[in-house]
Amino acid sequence: MMNLAPGATIGIIGGGQLGRMSAIAAARLGFFAHIFTPEAGGPASQVAAMTTEADYTDHDALTRFAASVDVITFEFENLPAASLDLLARLKPVHPSPEILRISQDRLLEKKFLNDIGIPTAPWAAVQTAADILVLPGILKTTRLGYDGKGQALVRTPAEAAAAFEALNPKPLVFEGFVDFACEISVMVARNEAGAVVSFDPVENRHKNHILDLTLAPAPLPLETLAEATRIARHIAESLNLIGLLGVEMFVTASGTLLVNEIAPRPHNSGHWTLDACPASQFEMHIRAVTGLPLPPAARHSDAVMKNLVGPDDMAKWQAILATPGLIPHHYGKAEAREGRKMAHFTRLFPRGSLPGAFGIEAALRLARG
Ligand code: AMP
């Protein structure tokens, strides 16, 4: 069984902010991070011991990378299958290539979830526009969709036909429209010894299809929170996960939970754990893939996390730094393009006060500035 000692090197595929915060967590535990990314000088490389700058299909570079690390993990899940197989022949890869394959493909993902008894929105694989039977719904590409890209809301047969033409490659997946009350997520970690820990379920609010705010904990009845936790742990155990996994769910008006997506990596909706928990999602990720014990995922505080996206949000950076109580996390990206996640901040509240005495709306007003 793996149990890496300080001085070991963790290979991280992907060079964005999730890799940056994972590399910082690795350093705190005495590990070196080696980043594999096509992008020079990106968020993760800036804080890592080593970087291989190469394309995700460059097998020579992947082979040299594997030779230089003790374990391989991801902050980015869309590595080509041939690259994944190559790495897995050379070094331990956590989470496993099989988990990545499931999470890369919405059809495999939904089939897997339903097979282990987890409810999702009703869905069907779509080969022709005539396969779209019940409107309204959401038509999505099976692969490479994120932040609302690669999908379209369809309400009429004409919209369905247009969206079918526009989205590629086929097949697509068609999902029944879920009239959800809110969206939540749970971060769960599992190590090789089978220990499982999960952070409290949080509510996620989006703006322009991009995560805007996370409320920790989600202001929902305890039974709903317990069910969300049960679902996330069941998925992690059914996958034999070694690593960290985010589970996104819809909560319907009647309190039913439907899983939307799983992501076997740190997740934007887990950033609040950096400031509100003794061990963050990034530390849990590093601990899980290196065979270390997993401490409790308890939170010491309630929290609101606010994403800072694009040039408009970054225009407030100095004001955010000057506001007591806001905990800033900058990702080190040179250019604040529209829709690009640049930074986030967290505001902490005494544990138990966010849904209660303090009030969610007051907390959100503070976060919005
Ligand atoms: P996804 O790329 O699957 O995470 O979807 C992005 C966002 O689109 C979700 O966070 C929801 O707000 C919305 N969405 C996705 N699928 C559905 C659905 N079946 N019904 C209603 N809204 C959806």
What pLDDT was estimated at residue 369? 56
Rounded CA-CA distance 359/369 in Å is 16
Q: Is the CB of 148 under 6 A from ligand 1?
A: yes
What pLDDT was estimated at residue 1? 74
Alpha carbon nearest to ligand 1 atom 6, residue: 148
More confident residue, 209 or 10: 10
Query: Is pLDDT above 80 for 356?
Result: no
Query: Is pLDDT above 60 for 273?
Result: yes
Q: Is the CB of 154 under 6 A from ligand 1?
A: no
* Model confidence, pTM: 0.94
Q: To the nearest whole number, what is the mean pLDDT of the chain? A: 93
What residues are paired with 140 via a beta bridge? 151, 173
What pLDDT was estimated at residue 149? 76
More confident residue, 289 or 369: 289
Residue 237 has, within 13 A of its CA and on its CB side, a CA count of 14
The 10s digit of each residue's pLDDT in 178-230 is 999 999 999 999 999 999 999 999 999 999 999 999 999 999 999 999 999 99
| Among the listed residues 272, 200, 267, 287, the one whose alpha carbon sits nearest the alpha carbon of residue 25 | 287
C-alpha 155 to ligand 1 mean position (Å): 15
The 10s digit of each residue's pLDDT in 129-150 is 888 888 899 999 998 766 667 8
| Among the listed residues 334, 313, 367, 285, the one whose alpha carbon sits nearest the alpha carbon of residue 26 | 285
Rounded CA-CA distance 246/232 in Å is 8
C-alpha 333 to ligand 1 mean position (Å): 27
Residue 208, Cβ neighbours under 10 Å: how many? 11
What pLDDT was estimated at residue 49? 97
Query: Is pLDDT above 60 for 27?
Result: yes
Confidence of residue 314 (pLDDT cuts 50, 70, 90): very high
Q: Is the CB of 317 under 6 A from ligand 1?
A: no
What pLDDT was estimated at residue 301? 97
C-alpha 227 to ligand 1 mean position (Å): 20
What pLDDT was estimated at residue 359? 57
Confidence of residue 354 (pLDDT cuts 50, 70, 90): confident
Q: Is the CB of 261 under 6 A from ligand 1?
A: yes
Query: Is pLDDT above 80 for 366?
Result: no
Query: Is pLDDT above 70 for 78?
Result: yes
What pLDDT was estimated at residue 150? 86
What pLDDT was estimated at residue 345? 95
What pLDDT was estimated at residue 131? 82
DSSP element (H, E) containing 254: none
What pLDDT was estimated at residue 364? 65
More confident residue, 76 or 239: 239
The amino acid at 342: M
List C-alpha distances in Å: 330 to 121, 340, 344, 349: 35, 12, 7, 21
